[in-house]
Chains A and B, each alone.
Chain A
Amino acid sequence: MDKYYLDYLSELEAEAIYVIREVWAQFNKPVILFSGGKDSILVTHLAKKAFYPAKIPFALMHVDTGHNFPETIAFRDEIAKKLEVELIVAKVQDSIDKGRVAEEKGKNATRNALQITTLLDAIEEHKIDCALGGARRDEEKARAKERFFSHRDDFGQWDPKNQRPELWNLLNGNHFEGEHFRAFPISNWTELDVWNYICRENIEIPSLYLAHERKMVWRNDTWLPYSEYLQDVNDEDIVTKRVRFRTLGDITITGAIESDCDTTEKIAMEVASMKMTERGNRSDDKRSESAMEDRKKQGYF
């Protein structure tokens, strides 16, 4: 075998670093959208490599629903401190207080959709012209259509029928005042690629991804973590389970799976044998067949 070839993880890494550097070169005020989940942690790790030995030249921006796992917030603050980068926190609660959005009602109420307004307001307020995100095309069918550089109009909207063709590695970030871009450097990674890379690079992740004992509630065909934000819970509904999370989002909608995997190596093995998609237990996607597409058109990340 030829000595000069990259294995697939190294090639994905090289591609992602290239995209991150293009963002830096083509935009005035880019940020990394940081949720505390593995994908945004990965993007941050790759950004560190892209500019080494300089510091990451972007701020991290967290759209905070207020319904968080405490572990996520601790992890977020720690990473910003360690990397010496600015942390912008845009709070959904502030948007509610200002009357920009109204809280959902009922048993399945979540703040997930409310994030859109908070995100778009923060983009405007901080004059952000490119938001780097950890979205992957394998996550969801609407995301399979995404570009590395994804144009958003003045209203923050994504138009799947009017995307710029992306050829070779030539990324066109030209835009007018008021418009912005979303950039997705890990578009070509799958869930398994992410875990294999986390193992290989020994990247630190929140403990929520590893198996732990937790109080859970069975609802909407999935195990949801018990928290003060979950509506209408009776004492008898709460059971203690050994679980881990495959994705991390708003605590009210993030389903867990029963698992004993307590190392990233074991997780990679488990993910390789998974029979269900990663977002299969995200109740925000179960609302309708095109839930993600509809949210993305409005400006969702």
Chain B
Amino acid sequence: MNLDKNQLLRFTTAGSVDDGKSTLIGRLLYDSKSIFEDQIDSIKNTSSQKGLDDIDLALFTDGLRDEREQGITIDVAYRYFTTPKRKFIIADTPGHIQYTRNMVTGASTANAALILIDARHGVIEQTKRHAFIASLLNIPHIIVCINKMDLVSFRESVYDQIVADFNDFASKMLTRDVKFIPMSALMGDNVVNRSENMPWYQAAPLLYTLEHLHISSDVNKIDVRFPIQTVIRPQREGFVDYRGYAGRLASGVLRVGDEVTALPSGFNSKVKSINSGTEEVTEAFAPMSIAVTLEDDIDISRGGMIVRSNNKPEVLQQFDVMICWLNEKKSQIRKKYKVLHANNEQQAMISNCVYKIDIETLKRDSEATDFTMNEIGRVTIKTSKSMLIDGYRENRTTGSLILIDPDTNETVAAGMIV
């Protein structure tokens, strides 16, 4: 099996409690033969202990003791499977109470989001919230899985109505690529195998769709942003003068000989060499981990950034972000938090709440002064030193940040720079 050219696709799933999310993931793994026999045996056992005739596919995804005992899902889990076309990472996020926080976590690295809709209920408020979060997180591809088609006799008219309803409210969303697939995760229709019950649906089943999503152009290849993680100074024979700036290229293509600027100092230089691991290369692109040396000895350390001289990020100490609050302790205006952004950590405060979004109605409330867990809204952030930032829509890496509470060291908020 030649896997050399295979790409990695990360996707997340969103759905209400009984939309069949776990069943869908179980079906995807089961029908693509990604589950081992000892795992199937163990699930068969548990299923029959629970008095079920068939195996409960949802059991594949509940790993912890409390989850099995209570039949609920706690926190995000990651699942893997590989087909001859691609390697997949599923961020399996629970649909329960904490759904916003968990969905944001799972969605932050995803190429694609699967939004589940129960065909009997159609587009509900919850669907709109999932689509809103997917759009806010700028997930490049959305696949709307219209599930439980077996319970509406596989009728095309039901599917058509849901597609029309979704498109109606989604017309304002920024996601470029939205696809719809009618399916029955329980019966296996249109998950891995084409459904014989829905001959009116001519497009591909879910797995084929995932295998063929075009994701190469999802990464920003235009703006060179190279945040520095650490400086490598071997000081050993053969490398006495070596000074390599190590990091992961956030976006763009960097070549030996490029004119670059080191920020925040603003000194200009040229790229002298690029190392990818032990190999020397002439060019590198996002998301490679590399080490770069420059023609001149200039001061640049962790938290700094190397960029193309004619294309720089903004340098700001005050800016607006969309935040999702993740912690049980609510936010406080002017409290000192730590902010972590592109390998740079410093102090920050929320200086102003611009508005909070009512997650039920998606209406804006500009009277709000704090955020509790799972709430989303726009705030103004002030930092102790200038930060090198881009808008989240242009750059997922240099446009995202987290807030850390210094009293507990916990990550309390996720932020997307407006």
Interface residues of A (CB under 8 A from B): 1-2, 4-15, 17-18, 21-22, 24-25, 48-55, 137-138, 141-142, 144-145, 160-161, 163-170, 172, 174-176, 187-188, 190, 192-193, 196, 200, 269, 272, 274-277, 280, 289-290, 293-294
B77 touches A14 (CB 8 A): no
B36 touches A53 (CB 8 A): no
Contact code string B41-66 (vs A, CB < 8 Å = 1, else 0): 01000000000000000000001111
Question: In this assembly, does B221 line the interface, its C-beta being within 8 Å of a C-beta of chain A?
Answer: yes
A-B complex: 7 closest residue pairs judged by Cβ atoms:
A141-B63, A49-B277, A54-B234, A2-B216, A17-B289, A174-B409, A8-B8
B105 touches A165 (CB 8 A): yes
User: How many A-B Cβ pairs are below 8 Å?
Assistant: 193
B80 touches A54 (CB 8 A): no
Which residues of chain A are within 8 angstroms of B409 by Cβ–Cβ distance?
172, 174-176
Give which listed residue, A8, A17, A161, A277, contacts B38 with CB less than 8 A: A277
Contact code string B386-418 (vs A, CB < 8 Å = 1, else 0): 000000000011001110101001110010000
A145 touches B291 (CB 8 A): no
A52 touches B278 (CB 8 A): yes
Give Cα A1 to B285, complex, Å: 15
Which residues of chain A are within 8 angstroms of B221 by Cβ–Cβ distance?
4
Q: A7-B7, A145-B75 provided; 16 other pairs, C-beta below 8 A? A: A2-B217, A7-B4, A8-B86, A13-B277, A24-B230, A25-B302, A50-B246, A51-B232, A53-B234, A53-B238, A142-B63, A161-B66, A165-B105, A166-B105, A167-B400, A170-B340
A8 touches B104 (CB 8 A): no
CB-CB nearest in chain A for B303: A25
Which residues of chain A are within 8 angstroms of B230 by Cβ–Cβ distance?
21, 24-25
Give Cα A293 to B77, complex, Å: 14
Which residues of chain B are within 8 angstroms of A293 by Cβ–Cβ distance?
63-65
Question: In this assembly, does B37 line the interface, its C-beta being within 8 Å of a C-beta of chain A?
Answer: yes
Give Cα A232 to B87, complex, Å: 45
CB-CB nearest in chain A for B65: A290
Give the contact-size bracket for chain B: 35 or more
Which residues of chain A are within 8 angstroms of B229 by Cβ–Cβ distance?
18, 21-22, 25
Which residues of chain A are within 8 angstroms of B87 by Cβ–Cβ distance?
8, 190, 193
Interface residues of B (CB under 8 A from A): 1, 3-8, 36-39, 42, 63-66, 68, 74-80, 82, 86-87, 89, 101-102, 104-105, 108-109, 216-217, 219, 221, 229-230, 232-236, 238-239, 242, 244, 246-248, 253, 275, 277-278, 285, 287-289, 291, 302, 326, 338, 340-341, 343, 396-397, 400-402, 404, 406, 409-411, 414
> What are 26 sample pairs from A and B whose C-beta atoms fall under 8 A apart?
A2-B216, A4-B285, A8-B8, A10-B288, A11-B7, A11-B287, A25-B302, A25-B343, A49-B278, A53-B238, A55-B234, A137-B78, A144-B63, A144-B77, A164-B411, A165-B104, A165-B411, A167-B105, A167-B402, A168-B108, A174-B338, A190-B87, A196-B3, A275-B36, A280-B38, A289-B68
Do A172 and B402 contact each other (CB < 8 Å), given the known contacts A54-B233, A188-B89?
Answer: yes
Give Cα A13 to B289, complex, Å: 8
Which of A7, A11, A13, A54 gathers the greatest number of chain B CB atoms within 10 Å?
A: A54
